[in-house]
Amino acid sequence: MSSLPPRPLILASTSVYRRQLLERLRLPFSVVASQVDETPLPGETPPDIACRLALAKARSVAQAHPTAVVIGSDQVADLAGQALGKPGNHVRAIAQLQTMRGNTVVFQTAVAVVCLETGFAQTELAQVKVRFRALTDAQIEAYLLAETPYDCAGSAKSEGLGIALLERIDNDDPTALIGLPLIRTCQLIQAAGIQVL
């Protein structure tokens, strides 16, 4: 009796950071961009935004690949309930970092796994508390010129020079701050039928 071939694994994201993280699991996977409007809904909280968008991204790609196990993820920087997204440019990045300096920001990082053929759909949320140093404007400018993190929620990349902006990181899933909580991702894809080890 032959076993069924493993289901294809797809990352519903073109984020280089998420792709690099998923590569750590040494599983074959493909990358497909999701077509999802990321505009927050009225009254939506940062954790709700992250969870809704992670699931929407996975479902969007799963529609075209119903036999695959699809991973979607989203991250929202949460400053006292205010959602801070990707700045997109230098001016907005300055404003974000000035607002966050000396404060604790919760990075809400959601991961969703969907397989349409089996009906599997689950979402997990990792919450990373990050305490920013009391940065000067000169430090903020120097950081942004060095790293240009305009495609990162909250304008900082902790895996690079952005670590110098921080006083403390508290979390239970170390890669969540980079954009994909791998502990939760492993649990979800295994529940969906893909063996990591």
- Domains in the chain with CATH codes: 9-191 (3.90.950.10)
Catalytic: 74? Answer: yes
pLDDT at res. 4 = 63
User: Which single residue is written with the structure tokens 């110098």?
Assistant: 164
pLDDT of 43 reads 93
β-sheet bridge partners, residue 111: 73, 124
Task: Give me the amino acid identity at 65.
Answer: H
Terminal C-alpha separation, the chain: 22
C-alpha span between 46 and 35 (Å, rounded): 20
- Residue 3: its pLDDT value, please? 54
pTM of the predicted model over 0.75: yes
- Could you list the mean pLDDT of each consecutive 10-residue stretch along the chain, which spans 197 residues? 73 93 96 93 95 98 98 95 91 95 96 98 97 96 94 87 94 94 97 93
Q: Of the residues 74, 137, 170, 172, which is catalytic?
A: 74
DSSP three-state, residue 169: strand
